Amino acid sequence: MLEVDGLVAGYGDIPILREVSVKLAPGEIVGLLGANNAGKTTLINSLSGIVKPMSGRILLEGQDISGTTARQRVELGIIQVPEGRLVFPEMSVRENLLLGGFCDRARPHRPRQMEKVLALFPRLKERLQQPAGTLSGGEQQMLAIGRGLMAEARILMLDEPSLGLSPLFVQHIFEIIDQLHKNGLTMLLVEQNLNLTLRHARRCYVLERGHIAVEGTAEVVRDDPRTRQAYLGL
Ligand SMILES: Nc1ncnc2c1ncn2[C@@H]1O[C@H](COP(=O)(O)OP(=O)(O)O)[C@@H](O)[C@H]1O
Ligand SMILES: [Mg+2]
């Protein structure tokens, strides 16, 4: 469904990602692991069009979308749930969700999509009028995911959804991810939490200082000594 081929990307003239190649099949959860500063967010930002490629290609269903803008990527259904959630704190939960569905493709279906999202997250339904900034971290993560779903995501890219959450919320967020997977959604799951990701993603990539150090099934990645090395920075 999505193919990243030899991607080089970074900031200014400094490349961070060095020839990164990644594939996502339809309906797959793919894990992207790596230590702090490995380049995980830079890869997500490249897929969402915020970071421009220096070379290499991004293909969506075989079409080269490398030159498209972030806005066009949203219209194509490539949706980012950003690291640190980045909900709009002064706006209500409802307004945050409506904003998620603002793109041309999703806007006409917002009422229907809102119902689906609230069925998935009853906690948000109870807090629709509450300013998003007053939610707990776990609730904000739910809202960030809900906002991404409102855009009728075809590929949902989750950037460290477990970061800073209590164990109970982490478990809940991962149950939601499993539920979305059952519904057929394609997801790229960026995490530092190795064991958790290996349990939920059948296939994983390990990024180490901007390049893919290990890739394969969860078992292969778990058993490869380079996986732990990539984390320890050896
Ligand atoms: N806006 C930016 N400008 C310059 N360098 C950046 C920027 N964002 C990230 N970097 C650098 O890119 C590298 C990878 O960062 P990032 O993609 O955020 O890693 P990760 O998400 O794996 O922690 C780091 O060395 C970081 O300092
Ligand atoms: Mg990051």
Q: Is the CB of 46 under 6 A from ligand 1?
A: no
The residues with which 63 forms a beta bridge, in sequence order, are 60
Pairing of strands 78-81, 211-217: unpaired
Is the minimum distance from the CB of 34 to ligand 1 under 6 angstroms? yes
Mean pLDDT of the chain: 95
Interatomic CA distance for residues 123 and 79, integer angstroms: 22
Name beta bridge partners: 207.
Answer: 212
Which pLDDT does position 120 carry in this prediction?
A: 96
Closest Cα to atom 23 of ligand 1 = 37
* In CATH, 2-232 is 3.40.50.300: yes
Q: CA 198 to CA 230: how far, in whole Å?
A: 15
Query: How far is Cα 150 from Cα 115, in angstroms, rounded to an integer?
Result: 10
Q: DSSP labels for 56-93?
A: EEEEETTEE-TT--HHHHHHTTEEEE-TT----TTSBH
Task: Tell me: pLDDT of 151 over 70.
Answer: yes
Q: How far is the CA of 192 from the centre of ligand 2 (A)?
A: 9
Confidence band for 193, pLDDT divided at 50, 70 and 90: confident
For residue 82, the ligand closest to its alpha carbon is 2
Tokens found for residue 15: 């490349």
pTM of the model: 0.94
Q: Which residues surround ligand 2, an ion (CB under 5 A)?
A: 40-41, 83
Mutate to test the pocket of ligand 1, among 11, 13, 80 (most ligand atoms within 8 A of CB): 11
- pLDDT score of 48: 97
Q: Tell me the CA–centroid distance for residue 38 and ligand 2, in Å.
A: 8
Are 143 and 96 in contact by the 8 Å Cβ rule? The answer is yes
30: helix, strand or coil: strand
pLDDT at 234 over 70: no
Domain segments of the chain as ranges: 2-232
Q: How far apart are the CA of 37 and the centre of ligand 1, in A?
A: 6
pLDDT, tens only, 63-99: 999 999 999 999 999 999 999 899 999 999 999 999 9
Task: Please work out whether the CB of residue 13 comes within 6 Å of at least one atom of ligand 1.
Answer: no
155-159 vs 186-191, strand pairing mode = parallel
pLDDT tens-digit profile of 111-131?
A: 999 999 999 999 999 999 999
